[in-house]
Amino acid sequence: MKQLKLLLAVTLLCSSCFSQTKSFIQLDSIFTLLHGQNQFNGEVFIAERGKIIFNKGYGFANEETKSRINGKTIFELASCSKQFTGAAIVLLKREGKVNYTDKLSKYIPELKFWEDVTIYDLLRHTSGIPDFIFSMDNNWDPQKIASNDDVITFYSSRKDTLEFKPKTAHRYSNTNYVLLASIIERVSGKKYGEYLADNIFKPLGMNNTFVYNRRKKAKKIENYAIGYVWAYNSFTKVTMENPEYNEQRVYYLDGVEGAAKVNSCAEDIYKWILALHSNTLLSQREFEEMTEITQTTAGSPIPYGFGLDLRKSENKMAFGHTGSWDGYSTLIYHDSIKDRTIIILENFNQGANAVTNVFEILDGRPLTMEYEKKIDIEEPIFIQFTGTYADEEGNEHIITYKDKHLIYNSNVAQWDMRFFPYAKNEFFAIRQGGRNGVLRFSKLDNGDIKLEMLEYGSLIGQGTRRNKS
């Protein structure tokens, strides 16, 4: 009997090892493919039931030094920073220093004209406050790095009206979390980053997590991932403010904190998820408040808690967030029922996260073709499709060729969107988040070439290029 039990235990162990090995191979093959097709550069970390089942980096953290990405590589978390801002407000409420129903004007009287906005509204994006990223676009000196106080002064001088009455709608606005960070500072007497470090990062052993403004206060950080984009009409990676890309917004907003600017690594983020899952930092009641799905005054559900997107049903409870800023793309996801954590950190703005395939592999479901596989074709095949395609409304779709890719632009916008071939007349887009996009070409009887632009299989645009002969 003992031998039978031992044999059964060994069989189950081998079966489990085989399953995990198979999952690892499948996951690795997906991200290796994407990396090879310029669709992924970053870190993938997956854990289930308290065990790390996948932890691997792809590509370089720094294009100059060629240092490689690993589980301890530090990335800017972009909007995934908001969950830490939300948790800090929970801790301040525990200390009796704030209440969720308090009005914004109690802590930031400069904005008293937004009288009906509460801390709850800021946390859940029901305030109606406009997004500072867009408001300051053409109304700020791009040579000056703004701070949270500058954002407050900017709005206090303009006295912008709210976009809707608080609680009547749910609309994401980064300004909400900038103001929450300012409330944290005014109430605690500490800098935003200092408060997070003292009350969240250090207690949880998140030793590689901190608030960092890499343009305002640059410093040397070991194993740090630089955020990259492609220079226009090139496959050279540059930072966004580089003249070859020239996005100055990331420079002059570098000092604004709360909605972004937390930097961390996958292993530290997992410590944070474990703390939330086990109520190590927050009590069960506090966590339930943080992840409560509420409603607008019209009864529409608000699937957003305190810096967390929420998915709840009879058999599901999941929370997390995504982020995109300054060449970084981030995803943090935790399924409380399956005790499954997925962390994907990228330092390339056109990265794909392949979450559909990740879920399929982890759940043992058949794999779908989420991303097409690149094929090798000769340069003349690319060249035959270049040119200007016009539609009946006068729109022009401009196709050029560069390094085994077609590049799409139009007469109204510089899209600089790259496409690789997966068939001799069909090309797949390299887009942020891996969004589906296809260029399909077909030759007409009169020698003209027809262009069809598809997104998730639906036609979104088309044009014809007249026969060059």
Residues carrying an active site annotation: 79
Identify residue 385 by its one-letter amino acid code: F
Burial of 9 per CB tally in 10 Å (0-12, 13-18, 19+): exposed
Alpha carbon distance 394, 396 (integer Å): 6
**Paired strand residues for 118:** 103
Here the tokens at position 228 are 């990259």
Quick count: other Cβ atoms within 10 Å of Cβ 440?
15
Structure tokens at 55: 């932890």
380, two tokens? 């003349």
Rounded distance between C-alpha atoms, residue 59 and residue 34, angstroms: 11
Is the four-CA dihedral 362, 363, 366, 368 of positive or negative sign? negative
Q: Helical H runs in 63-214?
A: 82-94, 104-107, 119-124, 132-135, 148-158, 174-188, 192-196
Say if residue 13 is exposed, middle or buried (CB neighbours under 10 Å; 0-12, 13-18, 19+): exposed
Contacts of 202 (CB under 8 A, 6+ apart): none
Residue with tokens 């608080």: 166
Check: CB of residue 31 under 8 Å from CB of residue 40: yes
Amino acid at 378: E
Q: What are φ and ψ of residue 22, in 5° steps?
A: -65, -45
